[in-house]
Amino acid sequence: MNKPLRRIAIFCGLLVLALLIRDNWLQYLKADQLRTDPANRRVAIERYANPRGDIIVDGNPITGSVEAKSGDFKYKRTYKNGAMWAPITGYSSQAYGSNMLEGVEDGILTGTDDKLFFRNTLDMITGKPKQGGNVVTTLNSAAQKAAFDGLKAQGGKGAVVALEPSTGKILALASYPSYDPSSIAGGSDGTTWTSLTKDKAEPMLNRALRETYPPGSTFKVVTAAAALENGLYKSADEPTNSPLPWIMPGTTTPLKNEGNIQCKNVSLREALRLSCNSVFGKVGADLGNDKMLAEAKKFGFDSEQFTPIRSSASAFSDNMNKSQTALSSIGQYNTAATPLQMAMVASAVANDGKLMKPYMVDELESSNLDPVEKTQPEEMSRPLSPANAQILQDMMETVVKQGTGTKAQIPGVTVGGKTGTAQHGVANSANPYAWFVSFAKMPDGSSPVAVAVVIEDESANRDDISGGGLAAPIAKNVMEAVIQSKK
């Protein structure tokens, strides 16, 4: 071969080599990035080429799929009682992606998760189209309806979370106001999306998991736990040596109680029943920031929770002086909690001091209903010894029997609870938040449900806002729904 031909051959060989390198780079190194690129229309078309799997509650699907009337996406997501279930399902939108369970378990629902490899391989061999799997939840439909209907009837904003204390199963998770995910499932629902995202009431905010509120007096349950666990008091009924007024350390300011309640030197039980700020503020200051923070962390504060939907971290501050610690110990100052967090507090007390990790997905299924993955209950921490938990249970039961939580009483069932009315706004200028945390105990000693309710009603008469008045009746209805469903 003469020199010119040899040069041409070498050049062509280099071009072929470059082409092979480029081809392999695209197929192997860049494949995942290109496959998940939002600009890759083919991926989106494939995503909606088959019906998604379903999200299941009590054996019934609360989602569905219908053929789209136009466009190159074949199927569109639908929801049953969408507004009620939105904090759990989230949305799956042809235009805006997905969130909540629709987002976290997208691989299972679309059939692309590696857990479905065996099922997908069989379907490929038999020629069946790829199908999504199902997400079986722990939710209780009766409890969820009681929670959502209660919030809706109240008419303001709020959230409810109910847990099964012995396992950590989430039985109800409601947020209000809400929205119907079906209304934004299509590719041309931009007007609805804009309306929802600009709505000042924030209907798309998951208040149960993503909003933190000052927990007010419901946090006194944590403070009481810290007092018992650290040996500050040995029982519920010994005097607390609390003066009235009690002056916050380093200040000349008394920590005031509501109205004219008699909190001088009362016991922990009486202090919880009356909701004495002075007593629990003093407990927090006496224990100090480090011990209070350690106890709060045992209940889950300062950590995000994954249910598997992410829940915002609740907060109890570090490096506070005694006065700040006192205010934080009655659920004010910098203390902030999600409704999930306060349901975890009630759940740990009800479960004899053992806090179980909260979760809402019981099982993942393939398209032919074969189990793919099963969630096992997992102990998260031990905020209380069994003996101290039982003391605190008894104290909370007194609150419902003859304290501020009487509206949560259920005939034939022992109920423990704690009310809270948390300050809101600069210098407490806005309407306060109404809280109630509770648990139900059956005659055999088992506790099927713990609940947290928060209400924020900007239009209500300020004097009418209380945890016992607004939140406790909702908690009662949710607990009754769970108890009835187990009969």
What residues are paired with 455 via a beta bridge? 158, 434
Domain limits for position 306: 208-360+380-485
Angle of the 339-350 helix axis to the 220-229 helix axis, nearest 10 = 40
pLDDT for 35: 60
- Distance (Å, rounded) from C-alpha 342 to C-alpha 212? 10
15-53 in b/e form (b: 16+ CB < 10 A) is eeeeeeeeeeeeeeeeeeeeeeeeeeeeebebbbebbbb
Q: Is 217 assigned a catalytic role?
A: yes
In the three-class reduction of DSSP (H, G, I as helix; E, B as strand; rest coil), residue 326 is classed as helix
For residues 216 and 227, give the distance between their C-alpha atoms in angstroms, rounded to a whole number. Answer: 18
Please indicate, yes or no, if residue 101 is contained in any of the structural domains: no
The angle at the Cα of 163, spanning 272 to 229, to the nearest 5 degrees, equals 40
pLDDT at position 128, please? 67
Name, in order, each residue with C-beta under 8 angstroms of 415's C-beta and a sequence gap of 6 or more: 397, 400, 405, 408, 409, 438, 439, 440, 441, 476, 479
**What's the pLDDT at 119?**
64
**Looking at 138-245, which runs of residues are DSSP E strands?**
157-163, 170-176
Residue 136: inside a domain? no
In a domain, 127, yes or no: no
Let me know: does 472 contact 438? Beta carbons within 8 Å. yes
Tens of pLDDT along the chain (487 residues) come to 577 777 777 778 788 877 877 777 667 666 666 666 666 677 777 777 788 999 999 999 999 999 877 677 788 999 999 999 999 999 999 889 999 999 999 999 998 877 876 666 666 566 666 788 999 999 999 999 999 999 999 888 999 999 999 999 999 999 999 999 999 998 778 899 999 999 999 999 999 999 999 999 999 999 999 999 999 999 999 999 999 999 999 999 999 998 889 999 999 999 999 999 999 999 999 999 999 999 999 999 999 999 999 999 999 999 999 999 999 999 999 999 999 999 999 999 999 999 999 999 999 998 887 889 999 999 999 999 999 999 999 999 999 999 999 999 999 999 999 999 876 444 444 567 899 999 999 999 999 999 999 998 644 433 334 667 789 999 999 999 999 998 7
Q: Is residue 417 part of a domain?
A: yes
- Residue 259 in domain: yes
Global pTM reads 0.89
The total of other beta-carbon atoms located within 10 Å of residue 106's CB is: 18
The H-assigned helical ranges of 134-184 are 141-154
pLDDT at residue 18, as a whole number: 78
**pLDDT for position 115:** 80
Q: Where are the beta strands (DSSP E) in 138-273?
A: 157-163, 170-176
How many angstroms separate the CA atoms of 79 and 62, rounded? 6
Structurally, the chain folds into a number of domains equal to: 1
How many whole angstroms separate alpha carbon 18 and alpha carbon 137? 51
The catalytically annotated residue of 141, 182, 217, 328 is 217
- Domain for residue 12, yes or no? no
Tokens of 219: 């946090």
Does 317 map to a domain?
yes
Task: Give, in order, the Cα–Cα distances in Å from 127 to each of 51, 120, 130.
Answer: 17, 10, 9
Inter-residue contact 232 to 287 (CB < 8 Å)? yes
CATH of the domain at 460: 3.40.710.10
- Is residue 139 domain-resident? no
